[in-house]
């Protein structure tokens, strides 16, 4: 056997309550070999397609496949090139074609093994084949564990913009083995930490302390659990991003502009980190110069020297929004743990930077 199934491994369960669409986030260290038995509790169909990328396949495809086969599944795999470029409509249709060719049925399952790209792409495949078949997310990047694998946003990019084709579709299970982070490249690690800083500011409690005073790596399972739980609680209240869920966009208004400005060469989480710093500075001004030094100090601990001209970024945002609206809904900070959504006119928004 490639991976030992250890009966002693603790499975932490975070429930995401969404009525008929409810599911568990199962969190553990070293439990990858247990995916098969978890799946047995949830689905009837006996066919599984694992979608993964070439980087992740090297380490985790074989053990995952074995776990599923031992649990009685007929397992097929599709390994895609690593990177955002795979998140496109033609790769999407190729995967759909594979399911059709294998005669997958409504009770069968797609397992997304990898980071955000794999999760979004395979998730959209599962969301639309036969109007939706079972989806299991097995995130292997920090960003996917704490953010993209939870909440049901799936899709692919179009030439006109990121995530322009997609759906809201909840998985049957999110299975997080934090030990899979041991092989994560440094740049992907930083990518996740950027998004982690968002949770630290939203939460203000233990997550802030871990990121400010301690090591994320030394508290890894707890860190992932707290972030995942934070997101789950928000998604429960607002599945389709009509209201509260917009809080999760803290740092993203400027973050998206920074990504765009970098021609999407800067990783998402890094862009969010810069976005957080800028919105903290703006939040201070918006609230009559309140003191957000502690919060800004936290961000600076993670190297946040913004490589772009701020005025230019702000223009980019207002130009983008013009077609849609004459105002901007952005998330601001009163203090760590106390964030809020505020609508500003373009003029008011510009003045803050």
What is the contact mask toward a copy of itself in residues 128 to 167, using x (rule: CB under 8 A)? xxxxx--------------------x-x--xxxx-xxxxx
For the chain, the farthest-separated pair of C-alpha atoms sits apart, in whole angstroms, at 63
Catalytic option among 34, 249, 261, 273: 249
Q: Which stretch binds a copy of itself (CB under 8 A): 54-62, 90-98, 258-266, 329-337?
A: 90-98
**Beta carbon of residue 163, minimum distance to a copy of itself (angstroms, whole number):** 8
Instruction: Say whether residue 244 binds a copy of itself (CB under 8 A).
Output: no
Rounded Cα distance between 149 and 137, Å, is 6
Among candidates 209, 234, 235, 219, which has minimal Cα distance to 295?
209
Q: How far, in Å, are 81, 176, 252, 323 from residue 85 at the CA level?
A: 8, 25, 21, 27
153 in catalytic set: yes
**Beta carbon of residue 271, minimum distance to a copy of itself (angstroms, whole number):** 21
252 in catalytic set: yes
**Beta carbon of residue 167, minimum distance to a copy of itself (angstroms, whole number):** 6
241 in catalytic set: yes
Catalytic option among 268, 273, 277, 295: 268
Q: How far, in Å, are 40, 134, 211, 217, 348 from residue 44 at the CA level?
A: 8, 10, 41, 37, 55
Catalytic option among 172, 256, 261, 273: 256
Binding residues for a copy of itself restricted to 255-284, rule: CB under 8 A: none
Rounded Cα distance between 22 and 170, Å, is 8
Catalytic option among 103, 131, 186, 265: 131
Bridge partners (DSSP) of residue 109 are 48, 134
**Beta carbon of residue 108, minimum distance to a copy of itself (angstroms, whole number):** 10
What is the contact mask toward a copy of itself in residues 50 to 89, using x (rule: CB under 8 A)? ---------------------------------------x
Residue with smaller CB distance to a copy of itself, 42 or 93: 93
233 in catalytic set: no
User: Contact 332/278 with Cβ under 8 angstroms?
Assistant: no
- Residues in contact with a copy of itself, total (CB under 8 A)? 31
Burial 250-280 (b: 16+ CB within 10 A, else e): bbbbbbbbbbbbeeeebbbbbbbbbbbbbbb
Rounded Cα distance between 181 and 275, Å, is 25
Among candidates 47, 36, 61, 41, which has minimal Cα distance to 113?
61
Catalytic residue numbers read 131, 153, 195, 231, 241, 245, 249, 252, 256, 268
Site residues (vs a copy of itself, CB under 8 A) = 20, 89, 93, 96-97, 100-101, 103, 105, 107, 127-132, 153, 155, 158-161, 163-168, 240, 323-324
């Amino acid at each position: 056997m490639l991976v030992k199934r250890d009966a002693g491994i603790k499975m932490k369960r975070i429930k995401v309550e969404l009525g008929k669409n409810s599911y568990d986030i199962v969190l553990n260290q070293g439990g990858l070999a247990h995916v098969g038995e978890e799946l047995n509790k949830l689905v009837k169909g006996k066919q599984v397609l694992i979608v993964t990328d070439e980087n992740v396949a090297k380490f985790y495809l074989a053990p995952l496949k074995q776990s599923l086969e031992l649990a009685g599944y007929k397992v097929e795999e599709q390994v895609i090139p690593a990177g955002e470029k795979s998140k496109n409509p033609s790769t999407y249709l190729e995967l759909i074609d594979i399911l059709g060719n294998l005669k997958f049925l409504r009770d069968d399952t797609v397992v997304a093994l990898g980071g955000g790209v794999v999760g979004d792409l395979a998730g959209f495949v599962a969301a639309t084949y036969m109007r939706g078949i079972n989806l299991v997310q097995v995130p292997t990047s920090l960003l996917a564990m704490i953010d993209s694998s939870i909440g049901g946003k799936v899709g692919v990019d179009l030439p006109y913009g990121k995530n322009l084709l997609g759906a809201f579709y909840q998985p049957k299970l999110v299975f997080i083995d934090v030990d899979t982070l041991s092989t994560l490249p440094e740049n992907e690690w930083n990518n996740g930490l950027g998004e982690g800083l968002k949770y630290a500011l939203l939460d203000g409690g233990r997550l802030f302390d871990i990121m400010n005073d301690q090591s994320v790596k030394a508290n890894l399972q707890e860190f992932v659990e707290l972030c995942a739980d934070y997101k789950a609680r928000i998604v429960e209240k607002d599945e389709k991003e009509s209201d509260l869920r917009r809080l999760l966009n803290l740092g993203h208004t400027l973050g998206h502009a920074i990504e765009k400005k970098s021609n999407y060469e800067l990783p998402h989480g890094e862009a969010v980190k810069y976005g957080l710093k800028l919105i903290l500075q703006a939040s201070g001004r918006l609230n009559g110069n309140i003191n957000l030094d502690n919060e800004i100090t936290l961000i600076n601990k993670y190297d946040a020297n913004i490589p772009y001209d701020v005025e230019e970024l702000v223009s980019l945002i207002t130009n983008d929004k013009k077609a849609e609206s004459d105002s901007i809904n952005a998330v601001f900070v009163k203090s760590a743990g106390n964030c809020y959504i505020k609508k500003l006119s373009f003029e008011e928004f510009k003045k803050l930077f």
